[in-house]
Structure 1
Amino acid sequence: MNNKEKIETPVEFRKLQKRLKKNVGNAIVDYNMIEDGDVVMACISGGKDSFAMLDILLQLRKSAPINFEVIAVNLDQKQPGFPEHILPDYFEKLGIPYYIVDKDTYSVVTEKIEEGKTTCGLCSRLRRGTLYSFAEKINATKIALGHHLDDIVETMFLNMFYGSRLKAMPPKLRSDDGRNVVIRPLAYCREKDLIEYANHEQFPIIPCNLCGSQENLQRQNIKAMLIDWDNQTPGRVMSVFKSMQNISPSQLADKNLFDFENLPLDREGEKAQYAFDEAVVSSTNIDESMYIDVSNVY
């Protein structure tokens, strides 16, 4: 969908808006993302997802049964040509509190990463450190990021294929030092819905010129794979996400999550009823007298 394509009728938009608000509300409740008295630092990059997140959070704040504050924060990474006036103008128009934080991570990334290599990893780490520190400075109790369901599923496959780890983006995360809590209110939202929403609302989207122009990024390969899957079998990406909410450690292979080493055999209790457990031996060369008579055991 390009920028000129919009939802055709007000009814369709209201349905989309209702669906997104419901998804965000359910994610907030399911993971206790926002509590009474919270100061939520909404990190706004200038992309469609963070704009939609801010818009929906502001709507939910009006009707929520709890009181919480939303502060918009943009990290200006000093990318050449970045239109510095757009976000302040937008925040002023909304009439919400905001901060523009200047941190020249662009120079650091371009200096340390060879041309043509993926910059996203280092850029993300530098950005995270700055935002964590600033959240404490303004006494924000939650840091809201605009990652959606598709981002979460993509990250899981990215880690599986390229990092040999079964790991994704959790809807709610406490930092390693325990000093910050990150929330992802869009965790139940599909990217295609957010694209439609952003197009209708005409958010002042600012493209990321740091890494957005790099071709053949690993994440783009994963994204293409998932789009193909969803086209062939609608609902498959949603099924993958739901599987992350329904994990059986004993059916995987991580020795740190499940004690595979100590699984003692125990036949003292009542025998479970197995399906089709009445097997008939038609031929054998084993002397059955070697085994105990189990007919009187059960």
Structure 2
Amino acid sequence: MASWGKLTFAQKQCVSLTGKLMQRTEMVAPHSRVGMAISGGVDSFAMLQIMLIRQAIMPFPIELMVLHVNPGFDPENHKVLARWCSERGVPAHLALTDHGPKAHSEENRKNSPCFYCSWRRRKTLFELCKKYELTHLAFGHNADDNVITYFMNIFQNGRASGITSSESFFDGKLQVIRPTLLLDKKKIRTAARQWELPVWENTCPSNGLTKRDDVRSWLEEIWKGDKRIKANVFNAISRQQVDLTRKKV
């Protein structure tokens, strides 16, 4: 870890908790080829920085590759990611698409813009994983995302489940992983700011107006003024989701 300089408390926690989850679930194996789905937001950019550090200190070799799917609202904003990767020698594929505008057009009449755009983006990421023969696809979902998804599933589907930390696709040919699932949003933001990561603003017209945002606001109102409630909710759901995917010994 010396090559990354001295880490702050928040940065150390991010690296440590990510390693803990990866080890408990045996998330990767020697010579895994991991595609990192980087949107340019703080969560995925922090995951990239964390995984580069973990790659350097892991006891076996893995390969990392950045995969970025620009939804098309701003065809230029991903250039900062291209420079960042180039300066650090990180291989990357940056794809410019029209998923976002189409999601908000007459072409998409049946589904919400978020569902349509997310579906098209994931399809593109799967195609890139196949093209580059990647064994893993990593998303930067965090503990906040896990909790919100858990309650959304209860409200909308009558199902008590959150986000899995590791999930197999295409008959085991691709493993979707979420290395930062134990990290809360506040810790990620602090570490990302200290790393001076060049994140950029989400320009999607639906940003801040989704059902996820409504559930987030509802939860924040519940635990406002009592940090114990938030900690208990996060711990309970995180433990449940990790136990679902951890390797039994």
Do the two structures share a fold, i.e. TM-score over 0.5?
yes
Structure 1 residues 104 and 246 mapped into 2: Cα distance closer, same or farther (>3 Å)?
closer
Alpha-carbon RMSD across the aligned residues, in angstroms, is: 2.3
Residue 110 of structure 1 aligns with which residue? 104
Indicate the structure (1 or 2) with the bigger Cα radius of gyration: 1
Q: 1:223 aligns with which of 216, 221, 224?
A: 216
Could you list the runs of 5+ residues in structure 2 that have no partner in the other structure? 242-249
Bigger RCO (CA 8 Å, 6+ sep) = 2
Q: 1:26 aligns with which of 5, 20, 28?
A: 20
Answer yes or no: is the 8 Å Cα contact 1:49–1:147 preserved in 2: yes
Structure 1 residues 246 and 60 mapped into 2: Cα distance closer, same or farther (>3 Å)?
closer
Q: 2:225 aligns with which of 232, 235, 244?
A: 232
Answer yes or no: is the 8 Å Cα contact 1:153–1:237 preserved in 2: no
Residue correspondences, number: 234
In 2, Cα distance between the equivalents of 1:176 and 1:242? 31
Structure 1 residues 168 and 246 mapped into 2: Cα distance closer, same or farther (>3 Å)?
closer
1:191 equivalent to 2:185? Answer yes
Structure 1 position 138, deviation (Å): 0.4
In 2, Cα distance between the equivalents of 1:21 and 1:99? 25
The range that moved more, 84-93 or 49-58, is 84-93
Normalised to the residue count of structure 2, the TM-score between the two structures is 0.85
Structure 1 residues 187 and 213 mapped into 2: Cα distance closer, same or farther (>3 Å)?
closer
Structure 1 position 174, deviation (Å): 1.3
Normalised to the residue count of structure 1, the TM-score between the two structures is 0.72
Aligned residue for 1:41, secondary structure, equals: strand
In 2, Cα distance between the equivalents of 1:175 and 1:239? 32
Which letter does structure 2 place at the counterpart of 1:228?
A: E
Give 4+ residue runs of structure 1 displaced > 4 Å after superposition.
none
Deviations 1:152-210 (A, max 9, x none): 11011112113322232111111265432111011110100111112222221122222
Superposed counterparts of 1:134-145, under 5 Å: 134-145=128-139
Could you list the runs of 5+ residues in structure 1 that have no partner in the other structure? 1-9, 248-298
Aligned residue for 2:121, secondary structure, equals: helix
1:174 equivalent to 2:168? Answer yes
Structure 1 position 26, deviation (Å): 0.6
Deviations 1:194-234 (A, max 9, x none): 1111222222112222245453x211121122223343331
Residue 146 of structure 1 aligns with which residue? 140
Which one has the bigger helix percentage? Answer: 2
Which letter does structure 2 place at the counterpart of 1:73?
A: L
Which letter does structure 1 place at the counterpart of 2:102?
A: V
Q: 2:236 aligns with which of 243, 249, 260?
A: 243
Q: 2:119 aligns with which of 114, 119, 125?
A: 125
Structure 1 residues 80 and 60 mapped into 2: Cα distance closer, same or farther (>3 Å)?
closer
Structure 1 position 129, deviation (Å): 1.1
1:202 equivalent to 2:196? Answer yes
Answer yes or no: is the 8 Å Cα contact 1:150–1:237 preserved in 2: no
Identity %: 24
Which letter does structure 2 place at the counterpart of 1:169?
A: I
Which letter does structure 1 place at the counterpart of 2:218?
A: M
Aligned residue for 2:8, secondary structure, equals: helix
In 1, Cα distance between the equivalents of 2:167 and 2:14? 22
